[in-house]
Amino acid sequence: MKSSSLIQILAAAHLSYAIDSVPDAFSQRGGIMLVGPPENMKTTLATCLEKYSNALVVADMNVKQLVKVRDQISCGRYRTLVLPAFEKLYKRDADTASNVEGHLLAMTEEGFGHASFEDHEVFVRTAKCLVVGALVEEHYRRHATRWLRDGFVRRFLWSNFIMDDQDAIKRAICKWEPLALSNGDDLPGLPPGRIPFDVSQKERIKIAGLIGEQEGKSTPYVLSIKTLNVLKWRYRDSSNPGRAAMDIFEDFAQSLGKQGATLQLQ
């Protein structure tokens, strides 16, 4: 998998909020989790969304902080919440971590409304957003069984990868030059209006095959279709937007299987 493909997928997933004529049944945002060993560019890739003014990147989060940003999310100020060190949520006691986890789940699908300590008779606007996280494999394995049982897994696309060149970071440090994955200009800007829905049934069927075992979970499937839609809009001026978009998604889909993918830095 090319790093440029993963960056384009993250950007397209973020911009999926702008797709026009989305039925209420498919209004969930979902999320993407980047999983891999330590020092394999997960954090760097997740934070590529910092380019967008309506994506919020936070190092850590608790329920009170979630409540503070809830109104900014519900009114559209932020469309994506990025947690580049997802395992930090679990450094506190288990109950606190579980509470945050539950609210993040709500944000990806039905929406986060009242926190447990708030008066449920008081009006609160529901907040929905895309959630992007990065975590090490060890943390994923530690919580996977519970996440499967609690439904956490089914809200996300799980992208598992390891760098094909394990010495790339060391060489970059030796040269005192940061690894250049994307200069930001490669990513689409915020759309000036709504993005028309343009994914055929044939393409939707192909997407189902590409995401494999994750296809049975409706939210990741909906997110995948929306992501392809944004990619087609992104490459609308190319000779074959559908092919260009599908090539990127096919490359990304390598990381969705149980064996994961090798990441080629670009």
Rounded average pLDDT over 242-256: 97
Give tens-digit pLDDT for 229-243. 999 999 999 999 999
Distance, CA of 160 to CA of 39 (rounded, Å) = 14
Which CA distances in Å does 205 have to 208, 232, 247? 5, 16, 15
Query: What pLDDT was estimated at residue 216?
Result: 57
Question: What is the full DSSP assignment across 169-236?
Answer: HHHHHHHT----S--STTS----SSPBPP---HHHHHHHHHHSGGGGGSHHHHHHHHHHHHHHHHHTT
Which CA distances in Å does 136 have to 141, 143, 258? 9, 11, 15
User: What percentage of the chain carries pLDDT values higher than 70?
Assistant: 94
Query: What pLDDT was estimated at residue 129?
Result: 96
Query: What pLDDT was estimated at residue 150?
Result: 87
Question: What is the full DSSP assignment across 9-60?
Answer: HHHHHHHGGGBSS--GGG----EEEEEESTTSSHHHHHGGGGGSTTEEE-S-
Give tens-digit pLDDT for 125-153. 888 999 999 999 999 999 999 998 888 99
How confident is residue 26, by pLDDT bands cut at 50, 70 and 90?
very high
Give tens-digit pLDDT for 110-130. 888 776 666 566 677 888 999
Determine contact, residues 23/124, Cβ cutoff 8 Å. no
Bridge partners of 2, per DSSP, are: 264
| Averaged pLDDT score across all residues of the chain | 90
Q: So where are the chain's domains?
A: 3-263
Distance, CA of 7 to CA of 182 (rounded, Å) = 8
pTM of the entire predicted model: 0.93
190 has pLDDT over 80? yes
How confident is residue 181, by pLDDT bands cut at 50, 70 and 90?
confident
The type of residue at 136 is V
Locate 192 and state its tokens: 């000036």
Query: What pLDDT was estimated at residue 197?
Result: 97
Residue scoring higher pLDDT (2 or 216):
2
214 has pLDDT over 90? no
Residue scoring higher pLDDT (229 or 71):
229
Distance, CA of 201 to CA of 15 (rounded, Å) = 21
Of 105, 108, 116, nearest to 64 by C-alpha is: 116
End-to-end, the C-alpha distance of the chain in Å comes to 10
Give domain 3-263's CATH architecture. Answer: 3-Layer(aba) Sandwich (3.40)
